[in-house]
Amino acid sequence: MLRQIYNFTLIPLAIGASPFWILKTKRRGGLSKRLWEKLGRYHEVDLTSMEGTHPIYVHAASVGEANIARKLIARWSSLHPEERFLLGIGTSTGFDLAKQSPPANTEVIYAPLDLSPVVKSFFASFQPKLVVLIEHEVWPNMVHHACEQGIPIGLANARLSVRSGERLERLRPFAGRMYDRLSWVGAQSPEDCPRLEAIGIRPESLEVSGSVKFDPAFDTPSACSLKPTELLDSLGEGPILMALSTHPGEEILFANAASQVQGARLVIIPRHMERRNEIQDELKGAGFETVLRSTINLVDSSSFRGMIMVVDTTGEMPAFTKEAQVVFVGKTILAKGGQNPCEAISAKVPVVAGPWFGNFEPLATQLRSNEGLWTVEDEQTMAKALQELSDDQEKAQKQAANALSTLEAHRGATDRTVEALAKLVEPE
């Protein structure tokens, strides 16, 4: 029932939204012939080389899911080098990131739109033997056509907030069948399990595997070889303070707070790099000098001293993060939900964030309880946190160690997930 309603409404919605999506993709520099892959046209893929290989298909929506998928595939490939993988990415930013550094034995494509003819074309072209979905990206036509062909489906790193769980539970009479057809679901935490069962996932298919994203045993494969030391040295000699994955309004808030730390070098890495001009204009209007990472010429590096660097390139955030003394994680003050703090935590960098971290519960609460996260409310409290963590190395190191110990609960999640998914391909 749900799938029929879904298919009836999806096509006009897709047609109506396509001009806005194309414009957004163009702003991000992602327009290319390969976008036809979203419609099941694989002219740029060597299908003959994949014929008969029956790859494992891993579906990732955007950058965050793509990083989880790359981490998972890298470990899987190291344990099972005979396997072939197909990684489908929904956004141009995530696609570019994955193409820069694909895991071994992996073909990267654009994920097919969940239109029934497109999904049919996808399965006919690649004939995967397993479909792996990430977190909460469960698509009706993908699930339906996989099941029609007897292909098992795994949902890795599954999570469901209280709010989302309540909304999906109301749809259970329509959507419950879709969730019931999942072969295996790896929940991030025990708290997720009752909510996942309530939307229709079978208890016998559900397992607490932990979070691949938070697993400290393995790093996400690097998408670049950048060593940003020289770039950062061009800004001066003071402590390096960074704002990561910022949303509108958070850049100026961070700049005002961080500029109160004497001699600090400031770096802003926005969540969406196409906002570069908007961010520059806002910062310049407030009296700050800025430089875009993409335009830096180190021949005359002295000209950048005292400027705020806005990083407008793809895949370089992990390399920059490792060089920071303190980071502020965005989408936590003026926007709600939060962005991933784990790259900074894994790099042993203390994290400052606002109160709105709902997308990362229960981790955010655990970090606060373990004194591994400094919560700020506004410019004044942020300035205080950045100043103290810059001045007091012992306090900074203790907070970073507390945060890293909090992630230990997820150690082994990647291996547990690979082991469970591999059984779907070759059951005992």
In this prediction, residues 13-26 reach a mean pLDDT of 63
Nearest one of 357, 349, 358 to 401, comparing CA atoms:
349
pLDDT computed for residue 14 by the predictor: 62
Q: For residue 51, give every residue at least 6 positions away whose Cβ sits within 8 Å of its Cβ, in sequence order, or none.
A: none
The CA distance from 146 to 126, in Å, is 12
pLDDT at 61 over 80: yes
In this prediction, residues 313-341 reach a mean pLDDT of 91
For 151-162, b where at least 16 C-beta lie within 10 A, e where not — what string?
bbbbbbbbbbbe
Tell me the pLDDT band of 218, cut-offs 50, 70 and 90: confident
Taking residue 308's Cβ as centre, other Cβ atoms within 10 Å add up to 24
In this prediction, residues 140-164 reach a mean pLDDT of 92
pLDDT at 300 over 80: no
In this prediction, residues 130-154 reach a mean pLDDT of 94
In this prediction, residues 187-196 reach a mean pLDDT of 93
Positions of E strands within 95-217: 106-110, 130-134, 153-158, 184-187, 206-208
What is the SS3 assignment for 309?
A: strand
pLDDT at 181 over 70: yes
pLDDT computed for residue 210 by the predictor: 93
Who has greater pLDDT, 359 or 140?
140
Tell me the pLDDT band of 17, cut-offs 50, 70 and 90: low
In this prediction, residues 134-162 reach a mean pLDDT of 93
pLDDT at 12 over 80: no
pLDDT computed for residue 52 by the predictor: 79
Angle between helices 140-148 and 2-27 (to 10 degrees): 120
In this prediction, residues 275-304 reach a mean pLDDT of 86
Who has greater pLDDT, 387 or 315?
387
pLDDT at 168 over 90: no
pLDDT computed for residue 244 by the predictor: 97
pLDDT tens for residues 62-121?
A: 888 999 999 999 999 999 999 999 999 998 888 888 888 889 899 999 999 999 999 999
For 185-221, b where at least 16 C-beta lie within 10 A, e where not — what string?
bbbbbeebbebbbbbbbeeebbbbbbbbbbbbebebb
Tell me the pLDDT band of 331, cut-offs 50, 70 and 90: very high
pLDDT computed for residue 361 by the predictor: 84
pLDDT computed for residue 301 by the predictor: 56
C-alpha distances in angstroms, 325 versus 329, 348, 352, 364? 13, 9, 11, 20
Q: For residue 418, give every residue at least 6 positions away whose Cβ sits within 8 Å of its Cβ, in sequence order, or none.
A: 72, 75, 76, 79
pLDDT computed for residue 28 by the predictor: 60
> In the structure encoding, which two tokens stand for residue 376, read together?
């700020």
Tell me the pLDDT band of 274, cut-offs 50, 70 and 90: confident
Q: Where are the alpha helices (DSSP H) in 133-217?
A: 140-148, 162-170, 172-180, 192-198
Q: What is the percent of the chain with per-residue pLDDT over 90, rounded to a whole number?
A: 62
pLDDT computed for residue 222 by the predictor: 67
For the entire predicted model, the pTM comes to 0.84
